[in-house]
Structure 1
């Protein structure tokens, strides 16, 4: 039996941010009338962008007839079939990739639609084309650029899919992770101990550290400090609270808070606030200029 887990938006965002991408293939492909790829169970995800119509997909028990300008994710570990409909041909861009958060495949965890409309079909086609060009390129930064473009396409896919939740087997580890992440988010100012978090997940503290890192890519302490700094950055950018109050809200001394903030952002809290206010002023002026 499967279900979905509601996780605080910021915690879910951080869960996705821990995603590690590995791109293994990217290409343009013209599917002829006889082309088919039936009952395949692969250990990688597939992202398709359809440049025409005439294709049929089965993802598990779901059947799809994608249209031109649609993105489709075929998750790893799912039985897949793809073929052209009788007498039809179509073209598509595609890539094969792994996307893991810790040791979990992202699209086995996220409850998203299989198919979404591209926000801007022409721009999406250009992005996919650039991804393929860099994947085939031989420059030092080619693969890094290809992965950045894949990230852009995956962000579009998730955003166009609407409200995203985590999928999980009832009683599975994802439920334990979501419970711990939610607890951390609500107790950033408290002296949360490893033992408290381990108890929430019903694990021994020594095993809990490995479990938590496999799910998030970070140790519990690293994750808590990251969340504290993300909160602090938003306060510095959007509120007028003092630096000392921000330090108090995350349960830190003023000295330790300022030191950690500079390690994470490269600027002191006051410098960061000044930079963000200047950026907001410029953006407001540009917006007014466009409207004028």
Structure 2
């Protein structure tokens, strides 16, 4: 259930990019003992850099992504007589008021499987960030999301930090397990709070800090994700899917369309057309 909580948190991230560029680091370049309120994502195109993140020291290689988290003392410099290039992006990624990389235990540095594709993706991010078109910033954020997905997928055993994964996460995990088995029930907020012996207002705050959304939003998301799975893998009728999520047919169809952009019947039709084309 910790994975469920983490997945929900990541899916509800709100992102803001404050800077993105390609930069060549000369032998005189450095940032020493910097404490920033934003995260830094670096993609190294050469070697010759030294990075210190808190007490951790790194000498990144070509083709490595490095995350320097917000709120951590950082130092970055070029080694003597070296020159190298990198892409970088300064950004915030929050859900429930918490920064992603302050919540996660993840490696600081990962190797990418396709260096050329990552360079192209980062270059496109920078280009869209610099442009002023109607959709430029949205495209830049989408590309940043892809890079962060690549970073997290290459990292071994990404998990919630122990400080965050203690009592609060254990309590929320209990609630997630309960909700998973009561998708068809009329679940009340006070009932969930009582389950973990929290005051309802405090429970909402804790739940949102872990998952990035309210308990009811999470429950409805899980109901629709389950419904999508049923549409994809079974011949279950829309009426039965509605019943299994505790909704009337009208409510279910409305919520499904809000979640996916299409009605349940149209969603299944699209799946069948895609299957025939393959």
> Normalization by structure 1: what TM-score?
0.86
Residue range with higher mean Cα deviation, 70-79 or 35-44: 35-44
2:129 to 119, 135, 147: 135
**1:58 shift after superposition:** 1.4
8 Å Cα contact 1:168/1:174 also seen in 2: no
| Root-mean-square deviation over aligned CA pairs | 2.1
- Please list every run of 5 or more consecutive structure 2 residues that lacks an aligned counterpart in the other structure: none
8 Å Cα contact 1:8/1:182 also seen in 2: no
Aligned residue number for residue 218 of structure 2: 223
**1:200 shift after superposition:** 4.1
Aligned residue number for residue 261 of structure 1: 256
1:249 to 214, 226, 244: 244
SS state of the match for residue 168, structure 1?
coil
Could you tell me how far apart the structure 2 residues matched to 1:139 and 1:243 are? Answer: 41
**1:102 shift after superposition:** 1.4
**1:68 shift after superposition:** 0.4
**Is residue 181 from structure 1 mapped to residue 160 from structure 2 by the alignment?**
no
- Please list every run of 5 or more consecutive structure 1 residues that lacks an aligned counterpart in the other structure: 1-5, 285-292
**1:174 shift after superposition:** 4.0
8 Å Cα contact 2:17/2:141 also seen in 1: yes
8 Å Cα contact 2:6/2:210 also seen in 1: no
**Is residue 25 from structure 1 mapped to residue 14 from structure 2 by the alignment?**
no
> Which aligned pairs between 1:1-292 and structure 2 lie closer than 5 A?
7-9=2-4, 11-169=5-163, 171=166, 173-282=168-277, 284=278
Could you tell me how far apart the structure 2 residues matched to 1:98 and 1:167 are? Answer: 18
Deviations along 1:37-88, one digit per CA (max 9) or x if unpaired, are 1222211100000010011111122221111011011111112111122222
Could you tell me how far apart the structure 1 residues matched to 2:39 and 2:167 are? Answer: 22
Residue range with higher mean Cα deviation, 14-23 or 175-184: 175-184
Q: 1:50 to 1:8 in 2, by over 3 A?
A: closer
